[in-house]
Amino acid sequence: MNDPNGLCFFKGEYHVFYQYSKEPQGGNKYWGHFKSRDLIHWQEAPIFLSPDKEYNKDGVYSGSALVQGEKLHLFYTGNVKEPGDHDYIYTGRQHNTVHVVSPDGERVASEEVLLYNKDYPEGLSCHVRDPKVFAYEGKYYMVLGARTKEDRGQVLLYASEDLEHWTHIRTFEILANFGYMWECPDLFEINGQWILMACPQGLPSSKYEFQNVYSCGYFLMQGDFRKDGYLTEYIEADFGFDFYAPQTFLQGERRLLLGWMGMPDADYKNPTAALGWQHCMSCFRELDFQKGRLIMKPAGEIASRITSRIPLGEDTGLQSIQVEEKTLDMVCRPLEENLQVRIFDTVQITYEKAKGEVVLGFLQGGYGRTERYCKCRELETIEIVTDASSVEIFINGGEKVMSTRMYPEHTEKIEIKGLVKGEIGVLSF
C-alpha cells in the first residue's frame, strides 16, 4: 500500500481509501478501503476502484473525497501508459482527473472524466495528478500537483460551481528552483492560516533539510488563495524516514491528517515485502497552527486507549522499563541537557542540547535506515507513539515530528538515560 486517499467522515463513519497494489513491491494501483466508527476499530471494505477502464488502466492513482449531503464525491487520477517508445514524463502518459459519485462509500453510482491532459494549462509535462477537492464560501476548489516541461514543481488551482465543470484559475509555484514535481497537494485553512501541503521531489539534501529522497511539507500562504495569495516559507512536515503523501480532512471542527509511513524510491527496506505485504499508515494526527507552524498531535482517540500508566522515575538517570505491549504512548519532559531513549532493541533517540538536535538512529532492525536529524534548540517535551513496527516522535507538543518504521526482535523494554518527568501510557486495542 501507499498513499491515503479519499479521507472523510461520512454518515457517521470514517473512510480511509488508499493506494493498494496486489504485489508487495508495487504493481497496478487500486483504491483499497477501510472504515471505522471511532478511528480505533477498522473494518476492511471491498476494493472501491479498480484499474479496469480505458482512462485508468495503468492505475487508479491518488485523490480525495468531498461529502455533499447524502452523497460522497471522490476524485482521482486515472493513469494510462500509451504503447510505444516513451519516457512517460513528457510523452506517452495520460493523467486523467476523474469524478466518482457514491451513495454510501461502497457503490459507484457514476464515474466521469473531468479533465484530460489536453485540458491542463500549457507548458506542463504529462505529470498532473492527485486532485484534492474542497468547498469554500459557496464554491468548489481543486488542487492538482504538476511538473512543467522545464521540470518545475507546481500546484494548479481549479474552481467549479457544480463539481463537473472546472476552470483553471491559478498556479502556485515559487520563483526559486524548488524541485521538479510537487505530488499530493492539499490546501486548507487552520486557525486563520492557509496552508498548502505538498510533496516536492528533487530537492537537494543536507544534514537537516530534505534528508529523504522526496520531501513532504507545507508552504505558508500569504493573502487570498483565490486571488493574490502567494507561497512564502516551506517547512518540512516530518524529519524521520517514513512519512509521505499525507492528506487532511475535517471531522466537525477538527482537522485530521493521515500520512503514508513509507517513502517512494528509498534505499532502505521493509522485511515484510518477503511475506507478501509492505507499508502502513501513520497514526491519525490532529492539526493546529501556532507560532507560524503547523502543530501535529496524535488524535485524542489514541490516548483514550491507555489502560495503564508506568510513571518514569525522576530520581535516576538510567532506567530500564519492562513493557508488555508494543503499543505505547510515552510522554516526558527532560530535566537535564541530554536525553537518550531506546525503543525496544531497535530505535535510539538522542537529544543533546549543546548540539541543538534530536537524532533518530538504529541499534538494529532499521533495514538500511541510518540516521535522521531534527534541529531542536530546547527540548521541552517529547511524545513517542509506538506500534509493532512504527515509531512516531512528537517534539515540543507536535511542532516537529519524526516518523519511522522499525523491525524489533525483542520488544520487552524501553530504556531512558537522563532525568525525566513523565510516563509511559500502555495502549490496548
Residues that bind ligand FRU (CB under 6 A): 2-3, 19, 29, 61-62, 77, 129-130, 183-184, 244-245, 264
CB of 20 or CB of 289, closer to ligand FRU: 20
CB of 132 or CB of 369, closer to ligand FRU: 132
C-alpha cell at 237: 512536515
For the question of residue 3 being annotated catalytic, the response is yes
Do 7 and 15 form a contact (C-beta atoms < 8 A)?
Answer: yes
Provide the 10 A C-beta neighbour count for residue 68.
12
Nearest CA among 118, 193, 180 for reference residue 154: 180
Closest separation between CB of residue 77 and ligand FRU, Å? Answer: 5
Closest separation between CB of residue 374 and ligand FRU, Å? Answer: 23
**Three-class SS of residue 234?**
strand
**Three-class SS of residue 272?**
helix
CB of 180 or CB of 362, closer to ligand FRU: 180
Do 159 and 181 form a contact (C-beta atoms < 8 A)?
Answer: no
Alpha carbons 278 and 291: distance in angstroms, whole number: 37
Closest separation between CB of residue 317 and ligand FRU, Å? Answer: 43
Alpha carbons 366 and 30: distance in angstroms, whole number: 29
CB of 64 or CB of 386, closer to ligand FRU: 64
**Alpha carbon 35 to chain centroid distance?**
18
CB of 243 or CB of 373, closer to ligand FRU: 243
13-20 sheet: strands from edge to edge? 4-10, 13-20, 30-36, 42-49
Provide the 10 A C-beta neighbour count for residue 362.
20
**Sequence-distant (≥ 6) Cβ neighbours of residue 342 within 8 angstroms:** 348, 349, 363, 414, 415, 416
Alpha carbons 231 and 196: distance in angstroms, whole number: 8
Closest separation between CB of residue 32 and ligand FRU, Å? Answer: 12
**Alpha carbon 46 to chain centroid distance?**
23
Closest separation between CB of residue 149 and ligand FRU, Å? Answer: 18
The catalytic position among 3, 238, 242, 387 is 3
Closest separation between CB of residue 260 and ligand FRU, Å? Answer: 7
CB of 241 or CB of 244, closer to ligand FRU: 244
**Sequence-distant (≥ 6) Cβ neighbours of residue 176 within 8 angstroms:** none
Name the residues annotated as catalytic: 3
